Structure 1
Amino acid sequence: MTSNLDEIVKKLAKKVKRHPKTLLTWFDDAGAIKVGDRYIAVKVDGFAASRALYPWCTFRDFGFRGVTGAVSDVIAKGCKPAVYAVSIGVKPEHIELIEDIFSGVEEAVNLYGGYIENMDTNVGYDDWIDIFVIGECSTQPIQRHAKPLDIVAIPRRLGLSVVAYIEYVEKRAPSFEEVKEFSCRPRACTEIASIVEECRACIDGSIDISDTFAEALQQLSEVSNAGLYINQKPSNMLHHLAISYAESRGVDLMTVTLASNEEYIPILVVKPGYEEHVIELLRKKGLEPILIGFATHQKSVSWLGKPVPKTIWDYASGTITHIST
């Protein structure tokens, strides 16, 4: 997120009126409240096609991806999507695309579960989509949080997003079909919600990787007032296609890992002693989980002894930006 936009959001946070039984901070992946004896998550997410639709993807993919972005944040809190509302806007010459975008939305909802209860359409100077999701939570939603000695894990390997991004910047379509599929129709990690339901006491915190991996680490550290130490090699965290692509182009593997974006999986913060149990639960769901590090008292993010450079998704420019080293 850009610094100016970040400051505006922080300013709004100081004056917004929130529900008296809110459970998550303003800066978390989603909102959540307790209603009676039930936990409810709520999320809104939006995308403009001029920034979020790769040229090799379709508007049907655009609708699917919009749902994935919103659902992933709900899932990262340990909840399951239940009800959706959709707002679709198009340029005047793209009126006929509304049906294609909505078809992609329906395909995603059929995959993730739940019901579409409301829809709005509009016309403007871009094509866009906003997805609203209400999630049902079987237990108290997971906050962005880590405390010293907690173990940090990811449910699968990263990096296909960076391959797609570099190819786009260099005005090419990815040669790997798996990269095309991932960039057009990323899948949220639906298995997380059932694992949280089975072992909520195992997990201290979570954050969705929707901007960059580096930014997610920094945000998790800042909100927790704790540090994170990554002790896993990049080659053990990256998809094999991302590794071969980076090596063929002379791109540093750590850079590829930190720049991984819109992966739509959570970083899980696991209580000490429970990490092997959580890893086993994830494996039983067909995932390839990786223990990547632990939380510290240092209040900074480092990787194998080196400070992690601030690598963010700049919404103003639509690019990945390295702020510092």
Structure 2
Amino acid sequence: MTRIIWSIPTRGDGPRARGWEPAPALPATVRDGRVGGPAFTPFDYLHQISRAAELGGLAGVYVPYDPLGEESLVVSGSLGRDSRHLEVVAGFAAGIATPVYAAKLSATLQRAFGGRLAWRLAVDLDERLQRTQGDFVTGTDRYARAAEFLTVAKAVWHGQDVDYTGRFYEVVKGGFTGPLAGLPFPTVYLSGTSDEALALSAEHADVHVFDLAPDDELDRHLAKLDGRVRRALQATVHTREEESELSGAPGLRGTYEQVADQVLAYRDRGFDTFFLAADPRLEEVLRIAQHVRPLLVGRA
């Protein structure tokens, strides 16, 4: 099966930054005991993209972590409740919260939309932006912290009376009970090509996401994972009915048939999930759903 996960623009879509406009002011009037709200907000545009992905039969949506964009976990919760089948991949950084709080928040989201939450932990962030978020862990320590973060999150998710003492986190008698217990832990997506990133994935990831790169470069990185986790590919996609309509932008590029062939070639190399994006996101997800996905299904 070929799974397509479409990226949600948390900092606006395209040159007009659609979806990133200031929200209209709430009116002062009260109707039927409730404060009236604007008919259409920037969040509604994100929901349009998500609904198009679901109606088009895509596997999921990815809400990337962006320190300057909308909060990814909030957006993920909103999109997850608005859908019924999509996997919702929430990107976030280990430095934004303790692993216990992130796990509890995620357990609530799992309950809210039936176990369709996934995590994509952002580890190798721009250090300047990291500091603006109050996070001063740098270098290879970020990977050591991410390993502890995932260790603790999984431990309290699945256990009770959990004690843990590490370099970055400490828990005494932690663990989930009651309605938070017994839920599936989010699928963990990780990325990066450094030795530290690949080692972290080998230990903690369910899926490792590679950026599109030359085959020999991908093969070198894949060899280090040695088949221990599933593999995914991330790329921009540029596709039209006629090849003459396309620019020379990098990514998966060509006619609908050519892009489908490229995706299937990667699937034959063991990539089962594809994180795709193109601007504007709404129009392009409809194009992928209507013209490329049927070709993938037909050739499965």
Q: Given the two structures, how large is their TM-score scaled by the length of structure 2? A: 0.25
Structure having the higher Rg:
2
Larger RCO (CA within 8 A; separation ≥ 6):
1
Q: Given the two structures, how large is their TM-score scaled by the length of structure 1? A: 0.24
